[in-house]
Structure 1
Amino acid sequence: MDQFKKFTSTVSSTVSSSVTPFAARSQQWFKEQTGNAGEKTELPHDYVELEVRIDALKATHQKLLAATSQYANEAYDYPPNIRESFQDMGKGISEKVNLLSKAGSASEAQAAITAPPSAKPQPKTFNHAIARASLSGSQTISMATPQGSTEPDPLAQGLEKVAIAQEKVGEARLAQDEQIQGKFLAGWSATLNQNIKSADKARTAVNNARLSLDAAKGKASAGGRHEESYTENQRKAIEAAEDVFVEKVDEATHIMRNVLDTPEPLRNLVELMKAQAEYHQRAADILEEVTKGISDIQMDQETSYRKARDQ
């Protein structure tokens, strides 16, 4: 029986020590919301400025992440109006072109186009879609060319070059996306979900300490009592709450300054710009090369066209 009383007393003491501070803070918060609280303890000006800067940093990370998270979605630029078949999404462009080059007849060419798909599905990007449409058009025109023709169709040639180039651009875009995911999105998300979250947690601790302090002050001044009439226990309670408040403000100040001073977000931005620059440079090189190749075909066709007209 004595052990039961001792256990009950221990539990009651534990519950009281954990619930009472929370209840006091909740009551103080409610009073402040309803305008029935006394004067609130002011936070240091420097601390408030840090809070404003942390809020700005948080909002910036959230907005940029909302936009750049699309880099983790392969089909972010895939046109919704395109309807590609299972065969269209089969083998890659380069693989199909290789099979077509070995085809000795129209039936073999058709078999190359409709060859079973590779184990890995073809990417759903805008460039890959253009590549697939271009190769399909090239083969359609080639198969419509009369048998026995000694010269390949110029447009079919040009479309095949476009298909190969667009696939290369699409692969470069996927490489860019992978680089951005690993070197920008990962770091940017870590800052938001770890560093800024740690600062928010510290700020919550400050607010709780401030509520506890003001609750202790409010309890001591109940009934209009002035500070000189506080009891010794009330003074000790206020002093203890003040110590905790100052400690939490110092901790939060240190954490927020560290979050704001770290160069990690700028490092992440450099990686984002670097990945985009490398992709656009690679794409420009590919497109410049294919443009020259198609221009050569165009010039040859125009020369043949003028000669035919002059005859």
Structure 2
Amino acid sequence: MDKFQAFGKNISSSFSPFAARTQQYVKEQFGQADDKTELPSDYIELEKRVDALKQTHQKLLQVTSQYSNEAYDYPPNIRESFNDLGRTITDKVNLLGKANSPADVQHAFTAPPSAKPQPKTFNHAIARASLAGSQLLNQTHTAGGEDPLATALEKYALAEEEVGEARLAQDAQIQSRFLAGWSTTLNTNLMFATRARRSVENARLNLDATKAKAKTGGARGMNPDDEMLTEDMRAVIEQKEDEFVAQTEEAVGVMKNVLDTPEPLRNLADLIAAQLEYHKKAYEILSELAPVVDGLQVEQEASYRKSRESP
């Protein structure tokens, strides 16, 4: 029986603070609370800054999380078969270079994949379409030499595959250096700040609930600081005030730590560096290709004019 009573007291002691906080919260929501302990202005300013930081992380992560989706720029309207995705463009070009018959050409496009299926990115899709077009033109080219457009398309296919691989390398860098870091800040550091703020709010509600209880326990209109309060009442109120101050100071420290950490800015710098590296690589690849295709175009134009000038 004694154990049962002790158990009941434990339940009551753990439930009573929660019930008191809940009652105080409801009274405040309905405007029935006479007094509400004000938080320091510096503390409120920190809360606003932490909220802004949290929203910033949420908004940017909502967009940049696409870097975890390989096919974020893959055209939704195209249909590529298993054979299309079977081998890399480089593998197919190498096989085509060894082809001596139409059957060999067909084998180059239908050979079993040497590794995993090819990525579904916009650049890889362009590469596959360009190589397929190059071979279609070559198959129907009956004049001597090579079809200049087919040659250009094959070179373009190889370049676009390189660009696509550079994009995948960029995505991997962003996932590990930016998304992981910002997710940690949002789900760990900012979560600690949220918990600390919740503790402050609970301590404030406990304090105000204790004051309200002391007030209603005395004469009508009596303030909690009135001399007629009992020593026990004063002691309980002082204890709640100390708890409120301690929780506030702890929350201030947690929020300042979250706001002062250089990690988010470091992660943003890594994001920019990954994007810069990708665009620089793409520029280098296409810069090397452009004069080659320009040269083919000039040669074809000269040949075209010569054929028109011939009697």
Work out whether the TM-score is over 0.5: yes
1:129 and 2:125 aligned: yes
- Residue matched to 1:213: 207
Q: 1:89 aligns with which of 80, 85, 88?
A: 85
- The superposition leaves residues 219-250 of structure 1 with CA deviations (integer Å, 9 ceiling, x where unpaired) of 00114333222222211111110010000000
Aligned pairs for 1:54-69 (under 5 A) are 54-69=50-65
- Residue matched to 1:170: 164
Shift of 1:288: 1.0
Shift of 1:14: 1.2
CA distance in 2, matches of 1:118, 1:82: 23
CA distance in 1, matches of 2:114, 2:6: 68
1:243 and 2:242 aligned: yes
Deviates more, 1:271-280 or 1:295-304: 295-304
- Residue matched to 2:306: 307
Shift of 1:160: 0.3
1:179 and 2:173 aligned: yes
- The superposition leaves residues 141-164 of structure 1 with CA deviations (integer Å, 9 ceiling, x where unpaired) of 111123xx5401111001101100
- What amino acid maps onto 2:120 in structure 1? K
Structure 2: give runs of 5+ residues left out of the alignment: none
- What amino acid maps onto 2:293 in structure 1? I
CA distance in 2, matches of 1:190, 1:36: 41
Q: How many residues align?
A: 305
User: Could you list the runs of 4 or more consecutive aligned residues of structure 1 that deviate by over 6 angstroms after TM superposition?
Assistant: none
- The superposition leaves residues 121-141 of structure 1 with CA deviations (integer Å, 9 ceiling, x where unpaired) of 110100001000000000111
- The superposition leaves residues 171-199 of structure 1 with CA deviations (integer Å, 9 ceiling, x where unpaired) of 00000000000001111111111111100
Match of 2:36, SS state, is coil
- What amino acid maps onto 1:35 in structure 2? G
- Residue matched to 2:253: 254
- Residue matched to 2:147: 153
- The superposition leaves residues 269-288 of structure 1 with CA deviations (integer Å, 9 ceiling, x where unpaired) of 10000000010000011111
Shift of 1:64: 0.5
- What amino acid maps onto 2:159 in structure 1? A
Shift of 1:105: 1.1
CA distance in 1, matches of 2:71, 2:79: 14
CA distance in 1, matches of 2:85, 2:221: 80
1:203 and 2:197 aligned: yes
CA distance in 1, matches of 2:147, 2:10: 88
Structure 1: give runs of 5+ residues left out of the alignment: none
Match of 2:242, SS state, is helix
Match of 1:41, SS state, is coil
1:29 and 2:64 aligned: no
Q: 1:101 aligns with which of 74, 97, 103?
A: 97
Q: 1:118 aligns with which of 114, 117, 133?
A: 114
- The superposition leaves residues 37-60 of structure 1 with CA deviations (integer Å, 9 ceiling, x where unpaired) of 111000011101000000000000
Deviates more, 1:149-158 or 1:192-201: 149-158
- What amino acid maps onto 2:195 in structure 1? K
Shift of 1:307: 2.1
- The superposition leaves residues 258-298 of structure 1 with CA deviations (integer Å, 9 ceiling, x where unpaired) of 11011111101100000000100000111111111111111
Q: 1:40 aligns with which of 31, 36, 46?
A: 36
Match of 1:228, SS state, is coil
Shift of 1:117: 2.5
Shift of 1:309: 2.1
- What amino acid maps onto 2:173 in structure 1? Q
Shift of 1:84: 1.2
Percent identity over the alignment is: 60
Shift of 1:18: 0.8
**What is the root-mean-square deviation in Å for CA atoms of aligned residues?**
1.0
Deviates more, 1:94-103 or 1:117-126: 117-126
CA distance in 2, matches of 1:67, 1:189: 13
